[in-house]
Structure 1
Amino acid sequence: MSIKGVAFDFGNVISLPQDTGVIDELVAIAGMERPRFEPLLWAARGEYDRGTLTGIEYYRGFLAKAGVFPAETALEQMVAIDLKSWSRINPETVKLMEDVKNAGLKLGILSNMPHEFLAMARKNIPVFQLPHRGIFSCEVDSIKPEEKIYRETLSALGLEPEEMAFFDDIAVNVDKARSLGIQAFIWKDSKTARADLETLSVTLGASKN
């Protein structure tokens, strides 16, 4: 069965990687050491992305477990820094997405994402207007690699699993997609992704980047 659609993760795929200095800024505000702070940050991220927590609740919650209780203004500052850090967009990925759409394929974004970032992105980041459909964890009460979010994406795009290609930078998310029959690849860069699509007999216009 031929490929009829392509979905892209957002973080580190459509967006550029988070600047390493961002964590240092957050650590400084929290008054903690990075080796203690960072594991707590990522361990609690799932429920924030699922949409069950606001940004302030997310930061307040995991910091409280470490015995750290920042003021409300400090929590607000941490949330703002976090959200801004994911706003830098990779132009080569955008060009690839445009080429996918221009080739007549369904284009999707499939991403774990909290409500606050999604609301900001839909207003301020043009690439969010590009796909036919975007499926975001906070809106479907499911985070990758849970099966539900992949099923929601297939349904939204009107595709069978084997008709969709998917790119994500996290191996467990790719493995789950593959287990469902989706043609999934670890994201490296847009040039590699174009080559991956060629293995599926997807022909796109040559990139000018």
Structure 2
Amino acid sequence: MARGKIEIKRIENSTNRQVTYSKRRNGIFKKASELTVLCDAKVSIIMLSSTGKLHEYISPSTTTKQIFDQYQNTLGVDLWSYHYERMQENLKKLKDVNKNLRKEIRQRMGEHLSDLSVEELRDLEQEMESSLKMVRDRKVRNVEQIHKNLLHEFDARDRDQHYGLVDNGGDYESVLGFSNGSSPVFALSLQPNPPNDLHSGVGSDLTFTLLE
């Protein structure tokens, strides 16, 4: 059965469009490879899909630049000068941006202020005040977070009734003081070192507090 003639128009379905592009691209590359072998031709094909993907075929033992150079020599045109000029323009813009940024940094450090107008000085002052406010707000948030962490830690200690008590075999009075109540009472809290300190030979820290 003969294949029906396909109408040449844009394929609306994106999936079918991508499948058709992939199949026909491979077919074109295959024909280019055959042409290179059969006719000893230099072929370079660059294709961009609708999704922006780049596909390229280049004859073996050659490069795209060599073909473009030969193309320029044949037609007497310069394809690289335009791109070189664009690159030079972009480089100049980047240098200007870098120069302005360095100038702003020096001005924020109090240098080269004589070149600024009154309005520019006011703008600089507002920017400095805004930056200072941001730094202060950040420091306040850090302090609040530290305070919150400390409260959380103290709350955890309050919930643990055995926190800070030393287990000396069950003799609680010998730890906290004397049974007659006439002598001062010493409270001991044990703060164990990390496990690594046990191997280093460093003992736990004992804190003695005199309770009036």
TM-score bin, normalised by smaller chain = under 0.3
Higher relative contact order (CA 8 A, sep 6+): 1
TM (normalized to structure 1)? 0.20
TM (normalized to structure 2)? 0.20
Task: State which structure, 1 or 2, has the greater radius of gyration over its C-alpha atoms.
Answer: 2
